[in-house]
Amino acid sequence: MREKEEFIRDFNEAFSKNDLDFILNSMADDIVWNFTGEKTVKGKEEVREFLIPMSKVETLELELQQIITHGRTAAANGRMKIKEPSGEIKSFGFADFYVLNGMKSPKVKRMTSYVVAIKEQQK
C-alpha cells in the first residue's frame, strides 16, 4: 500500500513542478479526467493540450493533507497556492479521486477532480 501512496504523492508533486512528462507517463493511454462541473478530458493527447497553458503557472505552495489508497483506487486532497503569468496569486483546495489500471506499476486510468477557490486566511 505504501508504494501507491508514494505514487499519488509523486503524481501530485509533478503537477506543482509542471512536470508534464511525469504526469503523462503516470497516466494510461485511455485516461479519462473529469473536472466536476466543468469538463472531461479523454486520452493523453487531450491531457497534454489541457496542461500546456498550466506550464506558465508557478506553484508557490502545495500542501497534501491526505492520501488514501485501497486496491485500485486512491484519493488525495490538499491546497495549492499559485502565481498566474499575470502576477495574480490564487489559492484553491482540491480533492482528486483515482482509479488505477493495476496494482504493480500503476497508471491513472480515471481521475475525478474537485477544485474550489479559497481565500487566504490572515496570519
pTM of the model: 0.89
> Rounded mean pLDDT of 1-28?
93
Q: Cell triple for residue 101?
A: 489500471
Could you tell me if residue 56 is inside a domain? Answer: yes
d(CA 113, CA 115): 6
Band of residue 45 on the pLDDT scale cut at 50, 70, 90: very high
d(CA 23, CA 108): 9
Could you tell me if residue 123 is inside a domain? Answer: no
Q: What percent of the chain has pLDDT over 90?
A: 85
In which domain, by residue range, is 30 found? Answer: 2-118
Q: What is the CATH number of the domain that holds 101?
A: 3.10.450.50
| Res 120 pLDDT > 90 | no
d(CA 104, CA 4): 9
Q: Cell triple for residue 91?
A: 489559492
